[in-house]
Structure 1
Amino acid sequence: MGRRGVALRETPVLVTGASSGIGRALALELAGRGARLAIAARRAANLEEIADRIAAAGGPRPHVLETDLSRPGAAADLADRALAALGTVGVLVNNAGRGLAAAQCVTGDDLAARELFEVNFWSPIALTRALLPALTGQSGTVVNVTSTLQAVPIPTLGYYGAGKAALGHMTRTLRNELAGTGVSVLEVVPGGTDTAARDVDLLPWRNGPMRTPPPVTPGSSARAIATAIEKGKRRRVHPRSSLVPLEAPTLGRLIAATVARRLATPDPRDTTPERT
């Protein structure tokens, strides 16, 4: 069941992780529907190319906001710059994400793991907090991009899956906390998507990757997300087949167990640090 939707034309929107993949496609899609954009990511050159393309198509040129959300405090700074650029924010899209294929017995809580959680979990929470006064004034929308991996515990993708599971839980909690404020909360759950860094390509396969269903395009994901924002949806899973592990967690665990048998994961007896 949806809530009041958003007319995207002239709506000020901040999109993080907009330099590639779903974020890039979503920036183009939102611009095509008339939104005024601020686009954020680490790779400024990629953002400038997207901004130029949107301007060449006749839309207002997006504000380019270079940022590294793996740094504590970067999200609050980004919120300030987005407000200065756009005047206010009516839709916040927390799409920035970092991948990591690593076994816990090797990586533990080292810098790569902590940076992943900073980007994938803490930054969306910090941005939402900083922009909530503006969103409340606009009866706006928070969009958090999670993943079907929150329900599929595949070896070496535990950090990514755990971060997305935590964000998914916080998204649903946020929706309850903001009931009656006029702010909508949308969880977007992408399945297999044809991006530059697909999870399946990061895994340590023994004899090549397993066959998986064909990935959807970033453009199809972007269209699904934009339409979900317009219709005031609470959750959008794309493709819809990715609902299966979310609604039947037992199947998600079976899928992970099948994948585990094909992976060359480290032996923890060879990697555990010696105690002194």
Structure 2
Amino acid sequence: MDLTGTPVLLTGASSGIGRALAFALAARGARLAVAARGRDGLEAVADAVAARGGTRPAVFGVDLSRPGAAAGLGRDAADALGSVRILINNAGAGLVGTQEDLGDGPAARELFETDFWSPVALARAVLPGMREHGSGLVVNVTSTLQSVPVPALGYYGAAKAALGHATRTLRHELRGTGVRVLEIVPGATDTAARDIDLLPWRDRPVRTPPPVSPESAARAIVRAIEGGRRRRAHPATSLLPLELPAAGRLIASFAARRIDV
């Protein structure tokens, strides 16, 4: 897929992987609409893209934890760009807490709205235009934690597992339409939103492989988009729990012995 002039809607673009991805996509010539809750951060990203010689992105400050916000964003982004040829569902929320403590309360429901329902709603909003055009790409960012049931991270892992399943199902549903579906599976990434650092460890956090940089993750995503991939894990070791679920359960069992819940 040639990104030159391609209209792209990217969520979660104000920080972390999303911010790095906005710069990487703009450098390849994409026209962007960027969305996140923090509009000030988005404006800074848009200014930086323009300063680097790219087309200034359309900016949408939107809270995707609110039901209905995603569908509105899809319509607004299509109006701003003329159409959406690539949708990248990168926005995500984390939550540390047990099911006993949080149940199905507001925090849990907001996480699922952001991490699962909003990607589904956004895809629904832009797919008619992609079908009409005969091509397009939906990119869903899941997580290796979908196969690693770490205590107190169950809500995040469950939402990402649901999104992963929906992603694979959508690929089958769009067979023959010209619209492709790509799952991105990030592993440990050096961002501010690392829930593993917030867990109630008994002593100190378990040792994990060094996290990759957001810029490294962004480059991997761009290569996957341009190369027509169906799934891309970065780093590659992040794929292990998905392909060998027993490994994910073993990792979670080891971590559980070190976590106070």
TM-score, length-normalised on structure 1? 0.93
**Equivalent residue in structure 2 for 1:10, among 5, 11, 16:** 5
- The amino acid that maps onto 2:98 is A
Aligned to 2:53: 58
TM alignment of 1:196-207, pairs within 5 A: 196-207=192-203
Distance in 2, matches of 1:45 and 1:179, equals 39
**CA distance in 2 between partners of 1:122 and 1:32 (Å):** 30
Number of equivalences: 260
Shift of 1:31: 0.4
SS where residue 92 of structure 1 aligns? strand
TM-score with structure 2 setting the length? 0.99
Question: 1:8–1:35: 8 Å Cα contact kept in structure 2?
Answer: yes
Deviation for aligned residue 1:135: 1.8
Deviation readout 1:207-241 (Å, 9 max, x if unpaired): 11111100000000000001101111000000001
Which protein shows a greater Rg?
A: 1
Name the SS for the 2:210 alignment partner: coil
Cα pair 2:116 2:160 within 8 Å, conserved = yes
1:149 aligns with 2:145: yes
Whether the 8 Å contact between 2:200 and 2:259 is mirrored in structure 1 is yes
State the 1:84 CA deviation: 1.2
Q: CA deviation at 1:138?
A: 5.4
One-letter code aligned to 2:161: A
- SS of structure 2 residue aligned to 1:64: strand
**CA distance in 2: counterparts of 1:168 and 1:240, whole angstroms:** 17
Q: Which runs of 5+ in 2 are unaligned?
A: none
Counterpart among 251, 254, 258 of residue 255 in structure 1: 251
Give 1:129-208 correspondences, 5 Å limit. Answer: 129-136=124-131, 137=133, 139-208=135-204
Asked whether the equivalents of residues 90 and 138 of structure 1 are also in contact (C-alpha less than 8 Å), the reply is no
Aligned position for 1:99: 94
* Matched letter for residue 172 of structure 1: R
How far apart are the structure 1 equivalents of 2:88 and 2:196? 25
For the aligned residue pairs, the C-alpha RMSD in angstroms reads: 0.7
CA offsets, 1:183-206, max 9 Å, x none?
000000000000001122121111
Structure 1 stretches of 4+ with a deviation exceeding 6 A read none
Separation of aligned partners in 2, 1:118 and 1:9:
32
Distance in 1 separating the partners of 2:147 and 2:220: 21
1:134 CA displacement: 1.6
Rounded Cα–Cα distance in structure 2 between residues aligned with 1:217 and 1:200: 16
SS in 2 for 1:70: coil
Residue type matched to 1:256 in 2? Answer: A
* 1:215 and 2:204 matched: no
Distance, in Å, in 1 between the alignment partners of 2:121 and 2:168 is 16
Structure 1 residue 242: Cα displacement: 1.1
On the 8 A contact 1:89/1:138 being kept in 2, the answer is: no
Residue of structure 2 in register with 1:90 after alignment: 85
8 Å contact kept, 1:22–1:219: yes
> Structure 1, unaligned stretches of length 5 or more?
1-5, 266-276
C-alpha distance in 1, partners of 2:200/2:215? 28
